[in-house]
Amino acid sequence: MSAVPASARGSAGAAAATLLAVRGLRKRFGGVVATDDVTLAVAEGEVHALIGPNGAGKTSLIAQLSGTLMPDHGEIRFAGVDITRLVQHRRVKLGLARSFQITRLFRSFSAVENLAIAVQARDGRNLSFWRPVSRDTAIADEARALLGEIGLAARADMPAAALSHGEQRALEVGVALATRPRLLLLDEPMAGTGPEESARMVELIERVRTKATVLLVEHDVDAVFRLADRVSVLVNGRVIASGLPDAVRNDPEVVTAYLGDEVHR
């Protein structure tokens, strides 16, 4: 399990510019501290994994990064812009997109239509009330090409709700990808998938990384150590370690707090 593809590590050069910089982020709900002084840097081009036990604050952090939850303190900079108070759709326009842990697709739309609407949203010019969207062949073409890239070409016209779980997970990533993000927040893309589907998702993320920087929140520790250039560990709302996978894996604090026997299995 420690076999790491050399290609995956290639782009993790120390000189890469910081794309996402989080500083001193705090969020509390009543007496519960969800995010406790989180500082995190994601470099352009890397796959940065965020791991941690249940209740560590991963979901709250993703919500603050994507703009659905406003932090109490701290700062989020994306590509040099302060986005701390920016609403979500504006962050998407800047190139920060997310996928969801619990699949959220446009269920009555077909697979290709799910991608087409995301392409259309990125394209803008949507206060158009009279011209049939079916004449916008550029949108349909791009959606079909992308559908092929995520391996669902054969499912184009199937309603999203009728796809298998693994296919829905792939489409979930595809919809986010259709916005052409610079940074893609993947919230547990392997959630609920079997080993075969997980392997396919790992492949998909390998392809995604050639197009976008990835912040990967994932429970599947095997997958994380195969994909990630760097790993940050979140426990009780705090980042307790951040660095190269091997260093993090052997960090005594990480082992006690989270990985424990999972690594030494």
Partner 1 sequence: MTPAASAASAASATATASTGPSPAARVALLALAFAAIAFPFAMQALDASFYVSVASRMMIYAIAATSLNLVLGYGGLVSFGHAAFFGIGAYTVGILITEGVVSGWIGIPLAMGIAALFATVIGAVSLRTRGVYFIMITLAFAQMLFYLVNSVKAYGGDEGLNLKLRSSLGFGLNLKDDATFYFVVLACLAGTLLAVHRIMGSRFGRIVLAMRDDDVRAEAIGVPTFRYKLVLFVIAAALGGLSGALMVNQQNYVNPNVLHWTQSGTLMVMVILGGVGTLWGGVLGAFVLLLLEEVISAYTVHWQFWVGWILLAIVLYAPRGLVGLVSRALGRGAGRK
Q: Is the dihedral angle over the CA atoms 245, 246, 248, 254 positive or is it negative?
A: positive
Among 17, 132, 210, 265, binds partner 1 (CB under 8 A): 132
Q: Does 6 bind partner 1 (CB under 8 A)?
A: no
Q: Could you tell me the smallest distance in angstroms from the CB atom of residue 126 to partner 1?
A: 5
Instruction: State which of positions 49-78 bind partner 1 (CB under 8 A).
Output: 66, 68
Give, as ranges, the residues between 185 and 244 that touch partner 1 (CB under 8 A).
none
Q: What are phi and psi of 261, to 5 degrees?
A: -75, -10
**Could you please report the per-residue DSSP string of 33-60?**
EEEEEEEEEEETT-EEEEE--TTSSHHH
**Under the criterion CB under 8 A, does residue 35 sit at the interface with partner 1?**
no
Residue 122 interacting with partner 1 (CB under 8 A): yes
Binding to partner 1 in span 87-116, by CB under 8 A: 87-89, 92-93, 97-98, 100, 104-110, 113, 116
> Closest approach of Cβ 127 to partner 1, in Å?
6
Burial group, residue 106, by CB count within 10 angstroms (0-12, 13-18, 19+): middle
Burial class from Cβ neighbours inside 10 Å (0-12, 13-18, 19+) for residue 64 reads buried
State the minimum distance, in angstroms, from the CB of residue 119 to partner 1.
Answer: 9
- Dihedral Cα 48, 49, 52, 57, nearest 10 deg: 60
| Residue 176 φ/ψ, nearest 5 degrees | -65, -40
Q: Which residues make up the interface to partner 1 (CB under 8 A)?
A: 66, 68, 87-89, 92-93, 97-98, 100, 104-110, 113, 116-118, 120-122, 125-134, 136, 159, 175-176, 178-179
